[in-house]
């Protein structure tokens, strides 16, 4: 036995989403500070990955297929508890609920259906295509190419786009959409549970409208296929800002040009640094 | 007091979604046969509307803003019970969970966040437009213009499109998208809770691919604004059928050309009547 060895070689994603059984369908977790967004809070997708890991312990099906998470209050670095409930186990799918709490206060509630994505019918028809991007090495690192405050999730997740974002240079483009490559900075192949984290790991598309921040209220993720190792091509888009609320759609395509994840969130703009036209 | 009068004049939507308190946060409901899809089952959106009505009884905020529902097993005409839980009441939003059961078996679980959509910030920016449709009286009634098996929900909800659907004439177009007008056949102005029903009330867009049926696993609805009375302009689209699973996006625009609801579901194809290319 090599004490500590697994920790010293394991990837931050795997270490930081670990859950330990502490009772009937209950787990303890430790929210790391390595996945923070602004304000010292863990970014939303990290909480999802922790909840998925707990559900994976209690549901018989292998793969997360669809999840919906409601963000109730900020998840912060420190101890957490995840309580789970098996809602239904069917022949083909299984559904469960996870509640992540800190200091006895529920922070995140997720319902998810698992299935086996390796044994599916052959029916496939696509009416959309992956983003057309120059090769990653010909793109710029969206964080490294700019100055400004850094958040720890940017040290975990790398985004590379053909050109730097307008908002990062203080000049929002007015177009709330973006296409870019994504991967973990510390090398790790993507899998379904890491896709659920990655759909929420990039800067909100509404930053290109001059938004100073955005808080996710609800996030739904569809996991469509097991990703092939390599860079992930992503597309983020907001089409409707109405009364301060906005949706954001996110697609992730793998290195085989296969759609592997699709998400939509409803979020609330904090404030606008410039007027919308 | 005029016994029964409210029933005799009330709209089927209001009558059939009624909930009666039977205990702490529990309600009884009666699932009517007036909203059936094929197989003698209530269509999904009807169950949503019943759950929303129960949550409206227990949450302090006025308007449903975002909901996610997992369909666990078929809801059928007959008695039902809805148990609710207040998850969080915040300054601006309130979140609750509703579980609809029949014969002591949970059929539908919904989490929803309510807010007040009449007092929102002014921030609005649209990067999409309503469907361009001829006036409703110049369109065809999608049900009345075809022969074939009828389902009771088609007697409640009217859809009018510029041309009859290909699949209804036995010739699927191969394009899983549709734009059409929608309203209740028995006159009733749309409101937020009826929009949650209507996003799921049209035939699935995948019927134009030759699908013989589709079962919703999860449905997320964003309610974006109170609708103005009148016809609703709708857009349904599936872009990705992968391994038998498909998403469907749905938008509803009101008679003021305002986006009032946006939904996405993940569903499973039953079987294909023709091969996909």
How many Å apart are CA B157 and CA B254, to the nearest integer?
A: 16
For residue B34, count other CB atoms closer than 10 A to its CB: 17
Q: Is A74's Cβ below 8 Å from some Cβ in B? A: no
Q: Given an 8 Å threshold on Cβ–Cβ distance, is A95 in contact with B70?
A: yes
Q: Given an 8 Å threshold on Cβ–Cβ distance, is B217 in contact with A111?
A: no
Which A residues, 172 through 191, put their C-beta within 8 Å of a C-beta on chain B?
Answer: 175-177
The mean pLDDT value of chain A amounts to 92
How distant is the Cα of B41 from the closest Cα of chain A, in angstroms?
18
Return the residue in A92, A207, A219, A240 with the most chain B beta carbons within 10 A, the one to mutate for interface testing.
Answer: A240
Q: What is the pLDDT of residue B47?
A: 98
Out of A106, A122, A272, closest to residue B123 by CB: A272
Q: What is the pLDDT of residue A84?
A: 98
- pLDDT tens-digit map of A213-246: 899 999 999 999 999 999 999 999 999 999 999 9
**Which residue shows structure tokens 């922070």?**
A107
Which A residues, 130 through 159, put their C-beta within 8 Å of a C-beta on chain B?
Answer: none
How far apart, in Å, do the first and last CA atoms of chain B sit? 63
> What's chain A's length in residues?
277
Which pTM was predicted?
0.95
Q: Give the chain B residue nearest A220 (alpha carbons).
A: B220
Out of B120, B259, B266, closest to residue A244 by CB: B120
Whether A277 shows a pLDDT value over 50: the answer reads: no
Confidence grade of residue B147 (pLDDT, cut at 50, 70, 90): low
- pLDDT tens-digit map of A150-201: 789 999 999 999 998 899 888 999 999 999 999 999 999 999 999 999 999 9
Interface pTM, i.e. ipTM = 0.94
Whether B87 shows a pLDDT value over 80: the answer reads: yes
Question: For A1-15, A200-214, B192-206, B209-223, which range has the lowest pLDDT when averaged over its residues?
Answer: A1-15
Q: What is the pLDDT of residue B276?
A: 55
- pLDDT tens-digit map of A5-52: 444 579 999 999 999 999 989 999 999 999 999 889 999 999 999 999
How many Å apart are CA B225 and CA B119, to the nearest integer?
A: 11
The mean pLDDT value of chain B amounts to 92
Q: Give the chain B residue nearest A216 (alpha carbons).
A: B66
Tokens representing residue B57 in the block: 């009884």
Tokens representing residue B98 in the block: 């509703």
Whether B81 shows a pLDDT value over 50: the answer reads: yes
Residue B245 contacts residue B188 (beta carbons within 8 Å) = no
Q: What is the pLDDT of residue A119?
A: 86
DSSP B176: -
Percent of chain B, pLDDT > 70?
94
Q: What is the pLDDT of residue B241?
A: 96
Q: What is the pLDDT of residue B60?
A: 96
Q: Which residues contact A165 (CB under 8 A, 6 or more apart)?
A: A142, A146, A173, A178, A203, A207, A208
How distant is the Cα of B243 from the closest Cα of chain A, in angstroms?
5
Whether B1 shows a pLDDT value over 60: the answer reads: no
How many Å apart are CA B252 and CA B45, to the nearest integer?
A: 14
SS3 call for A211: strand
Q: What is the pLDDT of residue B262?
A: 98
How distant is the Cα of A120 from the closest Cα of chain B, in angstroms?
5
Tell me what the mean pLDDT of segment B239-268 comes to: 97
* Torsion angles phi and psi, residue A93, rounded to 5: -135, 160
How distant is the Cα of B230 from the closest Cα of chain A, in angstroms?
20
Q: Give the chain A residue nearest B263 (alpha carbons).
A: A264
- pLDDT tens-digit map of B57-74: 999 999 999 999 999 999
Whether B79 shows a pLDDT value over 70: the answer reads: yes
Whether B274 shows a pLDDT value over 50: the answer reads: yes
Residue A108 contacts residue A71 (beta carbons within 8 Å) = yes
Confidence grade of residue B144 (pLDDT, cut at 50, 70, 90): confident
Confidence grade of residue B143 (pLDDT, cut at 50, 70, 90): confident
Whether A2 shows a pLDDT value over 70: the answer reads: no
Q: Given an 8 Å threshold on Cβ–Cβ distance, is A65 in contact with B245?
A: yes
């Amino acid at each position: 036995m090599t004490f500590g060895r697994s920790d010293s070689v394991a990837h931050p994603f795997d270490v930081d989403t670990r859950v330990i059984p502490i009772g009937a369908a209950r787990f303890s977790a430790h929210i790391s500070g390595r996945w923070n967004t602004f304000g010292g809070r863990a970014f939303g997708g990290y909480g999802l990955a922790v909840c998925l890991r707990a559900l994976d312990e209690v549901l018989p099906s292998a793969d997360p297929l669809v999840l919906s998470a409601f963000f109730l209050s900020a998840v912060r670095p420190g101890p957490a508890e995840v309580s789970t409930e098996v809602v239904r186990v069917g022949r083909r799918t299984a559904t469960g609920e996870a509640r992540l709490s800190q200091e006895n206060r529920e922070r995140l509630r997720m319902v998810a259906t698992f299935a086996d994505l390796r044994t599916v019918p052959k029916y496939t028809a696509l009416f959309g295509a992956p983003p057309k991007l120059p090769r990653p090495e010909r793109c710029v690192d969206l964080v490294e190419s700019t100055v400004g405050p850094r958040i720890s999730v940017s040290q975990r997740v790398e985004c590379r786009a053909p050109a730097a974002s307008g908002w990062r240079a203080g000049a929002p483009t007015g177009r709330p959409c973006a296409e870019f490559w994504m991967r973990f900075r510390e090398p790790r192949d993507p899998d379904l549970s890491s896709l659920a984290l990655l759909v929420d790991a990039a800067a909100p598309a509404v930053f290109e409208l001059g938004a100073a921040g955005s808080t996710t209220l609800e996030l739904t993720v569809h996991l469509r296929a097991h990703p092939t190792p390599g860079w992930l091509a992503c597309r983020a888009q907001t089409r409707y800002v109405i009364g301060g609320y906005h949706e954001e759609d996110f697609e992730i395509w793998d290195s085989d040009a296969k759609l592997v994840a699709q998400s939509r969130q409803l979020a609330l703009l904090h404030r606008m640094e410039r007027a919308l036209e």
